[in-house]
Amino acid sequence: MSVVAISANELKTKGVAILDKATADGQEAIITVRGKDKYVVLPMEAYNHLRECELEAAIQAVKNDRKTGKYHIESVDAHIRRVMDV
């Protein structure tokens, strides 16, 4: 599977149909503007998978912080003061 590049002009003239065709195999499509990669279009299933991976990574990072003691127990006011001082 290779990534399909679609120019903004091609998208403008052919509409969503070209995105359907480009992503039919589950692969992403790159939208180019003036010859430069600008946007990525993913099938919803691929997008949802990436989001799940991001959330799993965030959960793992929090678990690691808890294990290593890298967290604070404080009031909301103390938290806001600490964050605003950074």
Length of the chain (residues) = 86
The answer on 35 and 52 residing in a single domain is no
* Residue 22, burial from CB neighbour count under 10 angstroms (0-12, 13-18, 19+): buried
| Model pLDDT for residues 1-55, shown as the tens digit of each residue | 678 999 999 999 999 999 999 999 989 999 999 999 999 999 999 999 999 999 9
CA 50, CA 41: separation in Å to the nearest integer?
13
The answer on 76 and 49 residing in a single domain is yes
| Number of domains forming the structure of the chain | 2
The answer on 8 and 38 residing in a single domain is yes
Structural domain harbouring 67: 45-84
